[in-house]
Structure 1
Amino acid sequence: MEDLAYYNGKITRLSEMMVPFNDRSHFFGDGVYDASVARNGIIFKLEDHIERFFNSMALIDIQPDFTKDELRELLQDLCQKLKTGDLFVYFQVSRGTAVRNHSYTQTIKPNLAIYMIPWTGDFSGGHRLKLMTVPDHRFEFCHIKTLNLLPNVLASQSATAQGLDEVVYHREQRVTECAHSNISILTNGVFQTAPLDHWILPGIARKYLLLASQSLGFGISEKPFTIEEMLAADEIIVSSSGALCAPVSEIDGRAVGGRDSERLQQLQTKIYQDFFKETDID
């Protein structure tokens, strides 16, 4: 099996999976998700992703009928069914299946969906990204990994149409995050990233970049920064589960970063070593 889909206990190929029409994710995007990558059948930072997944469910009042341990075991078992190398691992829960109604009953049973496909990551650190800035018009649930991603989709498509890699959201000049990544800066030896409030997702890679920076003796700061401060930074770093520490070379057609390659290299080496160590087979 080259890919895999799971829905409430049923396992098929991705192209063969059928989902009930009345799943509330269809009508309302009423659910949450999380995702990571796997190497050698080991899902990277799985505990962190499961913890965030359960936190997202709690924040929108979804009551799961499975435990963290049961989800962990299920994901690990599904990984073993694929022999295609590295994997992208996605899991989501919707509130459940019911006739379309904005309100819902407390007894509704959540629907758990998972898919896994081959993944090829580039952890060489050599490719620098090109970004564009856009006003952040998303709702105020950015700290929840919700299925409601239409603003992100439209912004990402606009960037793709212009041959760019990502967008940078801002609210009245304050940089928040990217469409599907966190964004941080290195300035004068200080790794700075936005605080964990309702404007950004608590990224797992963001968390470990902070820890890596601290262990390397860098200064660390969790406070907002502006577009102007970002453009003037020594290095600009985009981070996600699939791109742990990706540097930036251009924003809105302006050359940026590239002024602290030594610290950037140290940080990339540290974070990539962590990935390979955690996913190696003893």
Structure 2
Amino acid sequence: MQDLGYYNGEYGPIDQMKVPMLDRALYFGDGVYEVTYTRNHRLFALDEHIDRFYNSAGLLQIKLPHTKEQMKKLLEEMVRKVDDDRLFVYWQASRGAGAREHTFPEQGEACILMMIRPGRLKDLGEKVGLITLPDTRFLHCNIKTINLIPSVMAAQRAKEAGCFEAVLHRDGRVTECAHSNVSILRDGVFVTAPTDHLILPGIARAHLIRACKGLGIPVDETPFTVDELMRADEVIVSSSSVLCLGADRIDGKPVGGRAAQLLAALQKTVLDEFERETR
């Protein structure tokens, strides 16, 4: 099988799967999600993604129908059913299905959707362009909710500008990108925004912090500004699909390029970890 979909116990090719119109994901975006990648049919950082999935669901008071171990087993079984060994793996939980009312269903249980298709990590050697945009999202960015319209619009703006990502900021403070975390290298220090309610606690970001500690690179989890971003020795975008990607331009102006060896060491460390875990 080339790809595989799942919805509440039913399996099939993605383009043949159906989702009920009463699923609250459709009319409220009332749900949470996770994404990871595989190599050799092994899911990368699965425990961390599952923990964040359950944390997001808990913050929205969504009752999940499976234990963490059951969810992991289901994902692992799904991955083995697909022919390609390098896969994009997406799963989400909505609050359930019911009449369109803003308040929660009385005895609702989450609807689980999964989607698996061929997908590979981005080449870490590639340099990318970024743009900056005001962060107009809501104030629960730490929850990986499927309410993504502001991020969708920001990502489209970046695409139209010929760039990979949009860096968001609030009153000059850099938060994160449309679908990635953003960090900088400055004077040999890895600087990344704190995991407060304004950013998602990225799995790749956490792995980068761990890589820094292994390499003896100091880590500073404090807010930084757009001006500091533009003057940084390196600008780093991180997510489950890119791990650690360097930027060479923001808003059409050249950035980074002054700590290439440090960036390369970080990229090698996180890529080696991915390959060890998915061996």
- Measured against the shorter chain, the TM-score band is over 0.9
1:4-62 CA-to-partner distances (Å, cap 9, x unmatched) read 00000000000000000010001100000001001111000000000000000000000
1:178-228 CA-to-partner distances (Å, cap 9, x unmatched) read 000000000111001000100000000000101101110111100000011
Matched, 1:44 2:38: no
**Percentage identity across aligned positions?**
46
Moved beyond 3 Å, runs of 4+: none
**What code does the residue aligned with 1:164 have?**
C
Aligned equivalents of 1:194, 1:52: Cα separation in 2: 18
CA shift, 1:126, in A, is: 1.7
The answer for the alignment partner of 2:75 in structure 1 is 75
1:211-264 CA-to-partner distances (Å, cap 9, x unmatched) read 101110111100000011111110000000010000000000100000011101
The answer for the alignment partner of 2:272 in structure 1 is 273
The answer for the alignment partner of 1:100 in structure 2 is 100
The answer for the alignment partner of 1:122 in structure 2 is 122
Matched, 1:148 2:163: no
The answer for the alignment partner of 1:136 in structure 2 is 135
Secondary structure, aligned partner of 2:105: coil
Counterpart mapping for 1:1-282 below 5 A: 1-123=1-123, 125-280=124-279
Aligned equivalents of 1:19, 1:36: Cα separation in 2: 22
* Unmatched segments (≥5 aa) in structure 1: none
8 Å CA contact retained: 2:37, 2:120: no
Q: Please, which moves more after superposition, 100-109 or 183-192? A: 100-109
Secondary structure, aligned partner of 1:132: strand
CA shift, 1:83, in A, is: 1.2
CA RMSD of aligned residues (A): 0.7
Aligned equivalents of 2:102, 2:208: Cα separation in 1: 39
8 Å CA contact retained: 2:35, 2:240: yes
Secondary structure, aligned partner of 1:114: strand
8 Å CA contact retained: 2:22, 2:100: yes
**What code does the residue aligned with 2:178 have?**
A
Aligned equivalents of 1:80, 1:254: Cα separation in 2: 45
The normalised TM-score by structure 1 is 0.98
Aligned equivalents of 2:121, 2:265: Cα separation in 1: 19
Aligned equivalents of 2:207, 2:115: Cα separation in 1: 25
CA shift, 1:107, in A, is: 1.1
8 Å CA contact retained: 2:185, 2:232: yes
1:136-178 CA-to-partner distances (Å, cap 9, x unmatched) read 0100010000010000001111111121110000001000000
**What code does the residue aligned with 1:14 have?**
I
CA shift, 1:135, in A, is: 0.3
* Unmatched segments (≥5 aa) in structure 2: none
**What code does the residue aligned with 1:171 have?**
R
8 Å CA contact retained: 2:24, 2:97: yes
Secondary structure, aligned partner of 2:185: strand
The normalised TM-score by structure 2 is 0.99
